[in-house]
Amino acid sequence: MDAEGNVPNTQLNNAKVVANSSRRRTSPSPAPLEAHEHRESLDTQLQIITRAKLPNRPSSELWDVSVSDGKIASISPHEPLTPVSATRLLDAKGSLLCPSLCHAHIHLDKCFLLQDPKFADLEIVDGDFQEAMKLTTSAKSRFGREDLMRRGRQLVQESIRYGVTSMRAFVEVDGDVDFKCLDAGLALKEEFADRCEVQICAFAQLPLFSGPDGGATVRRLMVQAAEREGVDVVGSTPYVESDGVKENMNIRWLTTLALRHFKHLDFHLDYHLNESKDPTVWNVIRTLDHLHWKHRSSRVITLGHCTRLAFFSPDDWASLRDTISAANLPISFVGLPTSDLFMMRTPQNYRGTLPIPQMIKEYGINAAIAVNNVGNAFTPQGSCDPLTVASLGVGVYQAGTKQDSEILFECISGRAKSAIGLPGTGLDLQEGDLADFVIFGQEDSEWRARKCVSEVIYDPPCQARTTIRSGRVISG
């Protein structure tokens, strides 16, 4: 093993992995790596994954998936009596292999504030949006390189262990933190480049046109951030502006910035449950159309939260679909139910979040779901595991059918990747698809092993998962 922890090919060709052993032993007949048991298998570039169950195929059948150049080279039925000559082989032992997971929307700099000893004085009392902003602003005034890197690294590492191989990570840019969060995010992007695609969004949580200086400081810093190498996305929160005119100015200014620097565009949009207030989503679409996004950029537009749209009628949804289609815009919506249900409430204590499965099934709108926050005043509950949000969706959306469960899984996998402009792989795995996988291991009781996607969604497995990116084992 070299200084970076990689295993030379000569060792891989002779490696026999032994449970609970930190030593490698050579064997003239290489034994297969076994998923879920061995840290020694990390960084192994695989040639074949054998004895795996696959989505959308009978759970009684086992399959062999061969890998070449980071993609699926072939998928064939497993033949128990056929000798396998591959030397870099992982034995799934009948476990379910699915496309890897993705965070379409997660805040890298604000994670774990409620657990970190440095911010032990932060305590939720009211549990509303105003308090969350106040507590987070207090924390941001104390952000330092050490805690930003420590907390952000923990989030990425935990996410990888859950099966995540890509994420859109928001880092705030404003006069309070300057570029502290952005610098840490870019450093983590580089640190994890071979294990997880960390897509950095330079994010203006504070107003761009309101406040003491009319947002001039934030605008200046956002322009500089957009010029930084490694920044993939620019984002803002138009709803924090002081009035509707400034909301629209925010939308137009940031869209222009994204076009000028050829960045993806991401808005936290319509984050309220005020039915009397017109949704700004219509202005976003008009602005994108007027600025000729479809002719000037191949980047995607992602709209998060949008809780106001929970009041939409069937005619509203059909109109939204048709308007997006007519403008030929690559718009996706990301529902964030964990945060939305905690933060958003009407005076009558009703809750609201985007009806993601309905948007997909009934209206063909591009959509996904995501974690958003982990361990802060905006979302104190939950973990880095996207599966927990998908499982929550069964109850939130009353989505309990087999088709529903598969849509929910895709919303944290292939659909999530597409929503942030990355190649998305569906559950019907095919030759040529990226070899980015998560393998769900066996339980102590054989009948409790997850045999299909619906079982994974209904009851997310808590035991170790094996994460594979570009055909390489990165966690397990």
- Where residue 93 sits, what CATH number does that domain have? 2.30.40.10
DSSP-derived 3-state class of residue 41? helix
Per-residue pLDDT band for 34 (boundaries 50, 70, 90) equals low
Q: For residue 51, how many C-alpha atoms fall within 13 Å in the half-sphere facing its CB? A: 18
- Answer whether residue 347 shows pLDDT above 90: no
Which residue did the predictor score with more confidence, 136 or 221? 221
- Which letter, b or e, does each residue of 278-311 get, where b requires 16 or more Cβ atoms within 10 Å of its Cβ? ebbbebbbebbbebebeeebebbbbbbbbbbbbe
- Answer whether residue 24 shows pLDDT above 50: no
Number of domains observed in the structure of the chain? 2
Tell me, what's the pLDDT at 82? 67
Do 194 and 327 share a structural domain?
yes
Tell me, what's the pLDDT at 349? 86
By residue range, what is the domain housing residue 293?
A: 101-399
- Do 407 and 360 contact (CB within 8 A), yes or no? yes
**What is the CATH classification number for the domain harbouring 334?**
3.20.20.140
> How many whole angstroms separate alpha carbon 435 and alpha carbon 140?
38
Report yes or no on 65 lying in a domain: yes
- Which letter, b or e, does each residue of 51-73 get, where b requires 16 or more Cβ atoms within 10 Å of its Cβ? bbbbbebeeeebbbbbbeeeebe
Tell me, what's the pLDDT at 311? 95
Per-residue pLDDT band for 59 (boundaries 50, 70, 90) equals confident
Residue 73, C-beta contacts closer than 8 angstroms, at least 6 positions apart: 66, 67, 431
- Do 32 and 90 contact (CB within 8 A), yes or no? yes
Do 290 and 194 share a structural domain?
yes
Cα angle for residues 190, 260, 202 (degrees, 5° grid): 40
Mean pLDDT of 125-129: 89
- Answer whether residue 444 shows pLDDT above 90: no
Report yes or no on 411 lying in a domain: no
Report yes or no on 406 lying in a domain: no
Q: Which of 384, 399, 414 is the last residue of a domain?
A: 399
Per-residue pLDDT band for 3 (boundaries 50, 70, 90) equals very low
CA dihedral 82, 87, 91, 97 (to 10 degrees): -100
Report yes or no on 80 lying in a domain: yes
- Answer whether residue 35 shows pLDDT above 70: no
Nearest to 425 by CA among 470, 455, 390, 387: 470
Do 67 and 90 share a structural domain?
yes
Place of tokens 């924090």: 240
CB count within 10 Å of CB 180 equals 18
What's this model's pTM, rounded to 2 decimal places?
0.90
Order of all β-strands in the sheet with 331-335: 101-107, 164-172, 197-204, 231-236, 264-269, 301-305, 331-335, 367-369
Calculate the average pLDDT of the chain.
89
- Answer whether residue 47 shows pLDDT above 60: yes
- Do 170 and 202 contact (CB within 8 A), yes or no? no
- Answer whether residue 174 shows pLDDT above 70: yes
Tell me, what's the pLDDT at 298? 96
Per-residue pLDDT band for 348 (boundaries 50, 70, 90) equals confident
Report yes or no on 3 lying in a domain: no
Do 80 and 108 share a structural domain?
no
Do 107 and 23 share a structural domain?
no
- Answer whether residue 102 shows pLDDT above 60: yes
Do 83 and 108 share a structural domain?
no
Report yes or no on 241 lying in a domain: yes
Report yes or no on 468 lying in a domain: yes
Do 137 and 167 share a structural domain?
yes
Per-residue pLDDT band for 39 (boundaries 50, 70, 90) equals very low
Do 322 and 179 share a structural domain?
yes
CB count within 10 Å of CB 105 equals 29
- Answer whether residue 14 shows pLDDT above 60: no
> How many whole angstroms separate alpha carbon 129 and alpha carbon 273?
12
- Answer whether residue 392 shows pLDDT above 80: yes
Lowest mean pLDDT segment, chosen from 128-132, 311-315, 445-449: 445-449
